[in-house]
Amino acid sequence: MPVQNSTQAALYMPFSRHQWAELRNAVPLTLSEQDIVDLQGLNEDLSLQEVTDIYLPLSRLLNLIIGAKQQRGQVVQKFLDQHTPPSPYVISIAGSVAVGKSTTARILQALLQRWPEHPRVDLVTTDGFLYPLATLKRKGLLQRKGFPESYDTKLLIDFIAAIKSGQRNVPAPIYSHITYDRLAEQQIVDQPDILILEGLNVLQTGLDAPVDTKRPFVSDFVDFSVYVDADERLLKKWYIDRFLRFRSGAFCDKRSFFHHYASLNDQQANETAANIWDTINGPNLRQNILPTRERAHLILRKGRQHQMDQVLLRK
């Protein structure tokens, strides 16, 4: 089992992959092999065994926790003798670029919506709340994309506050990884039982702000948080591998913001991807993302081939 640092040892109960898998407690796998293929992130070797060992126990844990919260809400409503709009249970998924947050979020959505107690599970990515490309250029933030200051924080907070207050038909911006910009259409979130919010900086608090601020943070609205973790050397390799795949895939689309990368040879593509990691993604990880890891309720630790090898559950 990987060695825990002192903070993790004080805050978390560690489980090996085998120990965690035993907590599944005979929960049936409701996803087919084709479902798994559809949920795969680019360059990830996601298997039925990974879903069975890691995500089924997690979905069982979340189902128990959410059920307890729903019962508490019913008790409070009975005490107050009034009906209030339902407040969804918010789960955040944090972690580095290329670690597989999107895949984790999609798997949890697919599993949780199969529990009869909460069939409506929506997934929103904070990429949509990045400032539009023109705004980033005007603010000189294009090379800081993904850093906290590159997000329209007010828009994001207004969105999550509306969701938690039970408002209906709340719009969320949608991001295109082809155009590297927001799309004109929006995602409408209408009182889900569960909202999964996936993004780089969803665990940040006022402690991370460069100046003292009294404004709320996304983490103030989150009920349960997951951090997907891996060594930076693996993250960099996975990012470069993904870049190489994009070169012959998404980058070939003439609408792509990165279309000019499609003509790079292997050496040029490796050097370009490594430079992007070293100047943008790596510094963002070390300065803004990794310091929030120990705030998560659960840490999923990955080893080689994107396989989970340890789970840390907050005490």
Residue 250: DSSP 8-state:
G
Domains and CATH numbers, the chain: 6-314 (3.40.50.300)
Are 309 and 301 contacting, i.e. CB atoms less than 8 angstroms apart? yes
pLDDT band at 191 (very low <50, low <70, confident <90, very high): very high
Tell me: pLDDT of 118 over 80: no
Provide mean pLDDT across the span 158-173.
96
pLDDT at 2: 61
How far from chain centre, in Å, is Cα 135?
24
pTM above 0.75, yes or no: yes
CA distance 44 to 189: 28
- Closest among 85, 107, 142, 138 to 37, alpha carbons compared: 107
Q: Say which residues have a Cβ less than 8 Å from residue 135's Cβ, sequence separation at least 6.
A: none
Q: What is the pLDDT of residues 94-112, one digit of tens each?
A: 999 999 999 999 999 999 9
Mean pLDDT of the region 34-58: 80
CA atoms of 61 and 50, how far apart (whole Å): 16
Structure tokens at 127: 């990429």
Q: If you average pLDDT over residues 139-163, what whole number do you get?
A: 96
Calpha distance 239→97 (Å, rounded)? 7
What backbone phi and psi angles, to 5 degrees, belong to 258?
-105, 25
Q: Which pLDDT score, from 0 to 100, does residue 41 have?
A: 63
Who has greater pLDDT, 3 or 164? 164
Size of the chain in residues: 315
Q: What are phi and psi of 92, to 5 degrees?
A: -105, 145
Per DSSP, what are the bridge partners of residue 186?
173
CA distance 252 to 274: 20
- pLDDT tens-digit series, residues 207-262: 776 655 678 899 999 999 999 999 999 999 999 999 998 888 888 888 888 888 99
- 289-315 pLDDT, tens per residue? 999 999 999 999 999 888 999 999 999
Confidence check: pLDDT of 35 > 90: no
Contact between 176 and 183 (Cβ < 8 Å): yes
Residue ranges in the chain assigned as alpha helix (H): 6-11, 17-21, 33-39, 48-50, 56-80, 101-112, 133-139, 153-164, 232-247, 266-276, 282-284
